[in-house]
Structures are given as structure tokens and as C-alpha cells.
Structure 1
Amino acid sequence: MKTIKSKTSAKLAMIAMAGTLLFTSCDREEREQLKAEADRLEQKLHERDSAFNSIMNVMAEVETEIQEIKEQENLIANNSNGDFASQSKDQMVSDLQRINNLIDNTNEKVKSLSSKLENSNLELNAFKKRINSMMSDLKERETAIAQLKEEVETKNNRIAELNTEVESMVTRVQLQTETIDVQNQELIERERDLNTAYFAVDTEEKLREQGLVAKEGGFLWIGRTTELRADAKQDKFTEVDIQNTKRFYIDSDKIEIVTEHPSDSYKLVNEEGTVKYLEVTDPSEFWKISKYLVVSVKG
């Protein structure tokens, strides 16, 4: 009887030991599973935090760039409202190109931001709304910049037209100025010709020697008169301005006025029996018939 009880007790002890070992083994596996799950959750939280920070950084960059685009756009819009020179026009075109590049870069960042948000498994509707707002804002900026480009191009074309018109006007003015200069010169020369006369005084013999006068008319040397030669050279005369010259000095007691002039348009001034000078009293009448005054004196 004692032997049976002893065997039973031994079996119970072995069962209890086996149960304890089984319980201990199960508890360790469960702890390991829980630790692995905790590690996985911690890694996921780390990835989520990293994605969140990355999204926030890119979003801040995008918002800053959009603000810069707006400021540059306003600056160019204000400058394009007035007249601008070639240098500012070229600068404006360069600025517009730079803004275009900035918009392209910002668009790429927004696409990257949207992709990161989709891959992050973050259910943040506010982020999505902000990204959609950014994309809409960038679209508006693209439209505004396109309009500015069109305005600048229109102004460039208008400036080119105005430059052509100005060049044409300058050419016309230059031609008119040249024509006026020529006409003025012609008037000056004509007035000078009208106011220029030629005077010669000497003995008849010397006047003939110089080719200024010749005997004309008469018959058999009777009744011939001394007259101005048609081919007399002007450089043999003294050139005078009829507006400023009224007296022609002769200083001879016997004279003959070879050229024809109305007798009431001049007078001979005598001093001590000598004709000192001829004074023109009516220039328009005196020079009407001839612009030459030739006086022959007796030596």
C-alpha cells in the first residue's frame, strides 16, 4: 500500500514539474513576441515622426517660395505699368524667367510632398488641404506670370513700333533739315547775289586793257561810245554790298559814267572843282538796270 502511494506521489511531482516547465516556456515566447511587437511599433512611430518632420520642412520651403513668387510677381507687375527702358525690359524678362524656374522647382517639391504624404500613411487631412491649396496657388501664379509675359511682349512690340516710328520721324526731320539748310543756303546766296554789285574806276585806256570796256557803235569811228563789255570778268571789279555801300570814290575833275543808271538815283559830290565821289541816293533805282558801275576818268 505504501509502495503505491509512493509511486503516485512521484508521478504527481513529475506532472507538476512538467507543468511548471511548460508554463515557463510559454511565458518566455509570449514576452519575446510582445517585445518584437513593441519594437515594430516603435520603428513605425519613428518612421512616422521622420515623415512628419520631412513633410513639415518641405511644406515650409514651399510656402516660403510661394511668398517669394508673389512678391516678385507684384514687383514686376508694378514695373510693367509704366514706361521702361531697354535695360529694365531685359531685367524684367530675366526676372520672369527666374520666377518660372522657381515655380517649376516649387511644383516639383509639391509633387514630392504629396508623394511623401501618400506613402507615410499619415491620415492628416489638414496637410492634404494645405497641399491642394499650394497647388492651386501655384496654378494661379503660373497664369499670372503668363499674363505678365504677354503684357511685356506686347509692350516690347509696341516699343519696337514706336522706335521704328521715331527713327522714321528722325529720318524725315533730318531730310527736312537738310532741305531747309539747302534752301537757306540758296536764299543766302541769292540774297548775296541780289545785294552784290561790281565797281571799277580808271582811265579808259586801262579799262580797255583790263577787258572791261570797249568802243561800240558809230560810223567810221565817228559817234562811237564806250560801253561795258558783256564778257568782262568779275574778278577785275571791286565787289560791293549795295545795302551798305552808298559812296564810290572817284577823285577826278573829268569823269564819264560808262554804265547806265537813272540820273535821279545818284549825285556827284564835288570838292574844289574835283568830283570826289558818287553817292547813291536811291539804291533800288540805281542798280535796277545794271549791277555794274564803271567810271572812266581823265588822267
Structure 2
Amino acid sequence: MKTEKNSMLKWIVIGVFAIVVVVAGIIIYNNKSHIDELSNQNADLNMTIEERDSLVNEMANTFDEIEENLTFIREKRSQLVLDQAEGKQDQKKVLVADIKLMNEMLEESSKKIDELEKQLKSSGIEIKSFRNKIAKLSESIKQQDENIQVLKTELEKRDYQIAEMDLQIEKMDSQMVVMETDLVVKADSIKNANNLIAEQDSELNKAFFTSGSFDELADNGVLTKEGGFLGIGKSKTIKEDFNETYFTELDKRNTNYFPLFVKKAKIITEHPDSSFRFIEEDNLITYLEIENPEEFWKVSKYAVVETKQ
């Protein structure tokens, strides 16, 4: 009886131990699965953190690059001077090159902003501060782009104004050429007119003088005797076809004295007595003085003086 009890107790102990072992195995198995799950979750979390850190670093670097670009553009734009008044072609080339550079930098920054948006969206990581930063940078890029467009518009406007000025200058140059040509023509006309007037004036004031004995004047085809009867009472007069070459040409405006140095002198041509006189010195008539040239030459532009030694 006692032996049976011991045997039964032994099997009970074995059964309890087996149950304990089974329960312990189950507990250990469950804990291991949970640990594996926690390990996997931890690995995923670490990967997510690494991806986030990588994204954060990449975005921070991109932010720095964009801000550097925008700072450069702001400074560059403040240095630009749109002064084309003097039409400096070299300055215009610099302005165009600077505007092109700023446009390229803005386009590059815009592309980087788009890439950041895509990366942030595809990562599944929501970082509010980054979205705010992206929004501010996008607005800044938009503002700078508007400023650049204003610069381009102003440059195009000034180019148009310069082109208009060039056309006006070209037109004025053409007008100046025409005016200069007209002035030359008018100057030539005035010169020719003045020459003609001078010639006419000189012709109008041209006079002729000659003197000598009757025989000299007659022999040289200047004087002749006309009228009378049988050679008596003939008067001395200038020939109708007198010899002009025996006269001295003069300008009656500035010739008022004719040297004679003879004992006797008589004017054959017709001149008012009040317009002239003979000047005598040392019993000689030294010269003929014309006191009133206008009156003296009024009747004839030829003066003939007969002299006797």
C-alpha cells in the first residue's frame, strides 16, 4: 500500500514538472517572439531615424545653398545700375549677363525646392518647421523672380528708348546734312550774289580819265574838231568812236585827284563846274580835284582834260 502511494506521488511530481517545463517553454517562446518583434521594431525605428537624420541633413544643406543663392541675388541686384543714358554697350552686356546669371540661380533654387517637397512627401516624415521653411523660401524665390522681371522690363524699356533716341539722332543727322548742304548752296548763292553785286557795283562806279595836249589826244583817237566854217570856229569834242584804251580806268568812289603839272588845263567832257577845280602851285596846275564825285560823274563816266605845257 505504501509502495503504491510512493509510486503515485512520483508520477504526480513528474507530471507537475512536465507541466511546469511545458508552461516555462511556452512562456519563453512567447517572450522570445515578443523580443524578436521588439528588436525588429527597434531596427525599423533606427532606420527611420537614420533616414530622417539623412533627410534633415540633406534638407538643411539644400536650405543653406538656396539661401546663399538668394543672398547673392539680392546683393547683385542692389549693385546693378540701369543707366543707359550714355548708351554704353559694355555696361549693357554686363547687365544682361548678370540678369541671366540671377535667372539661372533662381531656376536652380526652384528645382531644389521642388525636390525637397518630393523628398519630404515620399519620406512620410512630417516636419512642420521644414514645410514652413520651404514655403518661406518659395515665397522669397518668387519675390526675387518678380524683381528680376522688373529689371528685365526696365532694361528692355531703356533699350527701346535708346533705339528711339538713335532714330531721332539719325534723323537729326540726316536733317543736319540736308541743312548743311542747303547752307553750302545758300552760301555759294550769297557769295555769287555778292560777287555779282560787287562786279555790278564796280561796273557802276567805273570811270575813265585821260589828259594830254590836243594833238596827243587827237592822234590817239580821243578828240576831234567839229563844226566851224573853212576850219574856223571848230570846237574840240570827244570822238564818237573814241579809243577807250587811251583812258586810265578808275573807281570814282575813291579817286578824287588827277596829277597834271601843266601851265594850262581845260576839261573837254561835260562836268558841272561846281563839282571840280584845278589846283595851282608855283604857276603850274598841279592836279585836278573832284570835290563832288556824284555830280562830277553824273553826266559822263569819261573825263578828258586838254593840257598845254
> Under a length normalisation based on structure 1, what TM-score does the superposition of the two structures give?
0.72
- Which amino acid counterpart does residue 55 of structure 2 have in structure 1? K
Are 2:223 and 2:242, in contact at CA under 8 Å, matched by a contact in 1? no
Cα deviation 1:222-278 (Å, max 9, x = unaligned) = 4474525646345x4434443333332322234443433233432334456543332
Give the Cα–Cα distance (whole angstroms) in 1 for the partners of residues 71 and 241 of structure 2.
Answer: 104
Ranges in structure 1 where 5+ consecutive residues have no aligned partner: 80-87
Matches within 5 A, 1:269-280: 269-271=279-281, 274-280=284-290
Q: Which residue number in structure 2 is paired with residue 154 of structure 1? A: 164
Are 1:228 and 1:259, in contact at CA under 8 Å, matched by a contact in 2? no
Percent identical: 20
Single out whichever of 116-125 and 224-233 deviates more from structure 2. 224-233
Are 2:222 and 2:242, in contact at CA under 8 Å, matched by a contact in 1? no
Q: Which residue number in structure 1 is paired with residue 113 of structure 2? A: 117
Single out whichever of 112-121 and 211-220 deviates more from structure 2. 211-220
For residue 208 of structure 1, report the CA deviation from its aligned partner: 4.9
Are 2:208 and 2:302, in contact at CA under 8 Å, matched by a contact in 1? yes
Are 2:62 and 2:112, in contact at CA under 8 Å, matched by a contact in 1? yes
1:132 aligns with 2:128: no
Report which of the two structures shows the higher radius of gyration computed on alpha carbons: 2
Q: Which residue number in structure 1 is paired with residue 99 of structure 2? A: 103
Q: Which residue number in structure 2 is paired with residue 178 of structure 1? A: 188
SS in 2 for 1:199: strand
1:195 aligns with 2:205: yes
Give the Cα–Cα distance (whole angstroms) in 1 for the partners of residues 168 and 247 of structure 2.
Answer: 64
- Which amino acid counterpart does residue 148 of structure 1 have in structure 2? R
SS in 2 for 1:261: coil
Give the Cα–Cα distance (whole angstroms) in 2 for the partners of residues 228 and 282 of structure 1.
Answer: 26
Residue 179 (structure 2) aligned to one of 166, 169, 186? 169
Give the Cα–Cα distance (whole angstroms) in 2 for the partners of residues 258 and 129 of structure 1.
Answer: 115
For residue 61 of structure 1, report the CA deviation from its aligned partner: 1.9
For residue 54 of structure 1, report the CA deviation from its aligned partner: 1.3
Are 2:257 and 2:289, in contact at CA under 8 Å, matched by a contact in 1? yes
For residue 60 of structure 1, report the CA deviation from its aligned partner: 1.4
Give the Cα–Cα distance (whole angstroms) in 2 for the partners of residues 153 and 231 of structure 1.
Answer: 76
Q: Which residue number in structure 2 is paired with residue 45 of structure 1? A: 56
Q: Which residue number in structure 1 is paired with residue 69 of structure 2? A: 58
Ranges in structure 2 where 5+ consecutive residues have no aligned partner: 1-6, 118-129
- Which amino acid counterpart does residue 267 of structure 1 have in structure 2? R
RMSD of equivalent CA atoms:
3.9
SS in 1 for 2:271: coil
Are 2:237 and 2:269, in contact at CA under 8 Å, matched by a contact in 1? no
Matches within 5 A, 1:279-290: 279-290=289-300
Distance change in 2, residues 1:270/1:53 (3 Å): closer
Give the Cα–Cα distance (whole angstroms) in 1 for the partners of residues 242 and 98 of structure 2.
Answer: 89
Single out whichever of 109-118 and 130-139 deviates more from structure 2. 130-139
Distance change in 2, residues 1:263/1:207 (3 Å): same
Give the Cα–Cα distance (whole angstroms) in 2 for the partners of residues 34 and 221 of structure 1.
Answer: 166
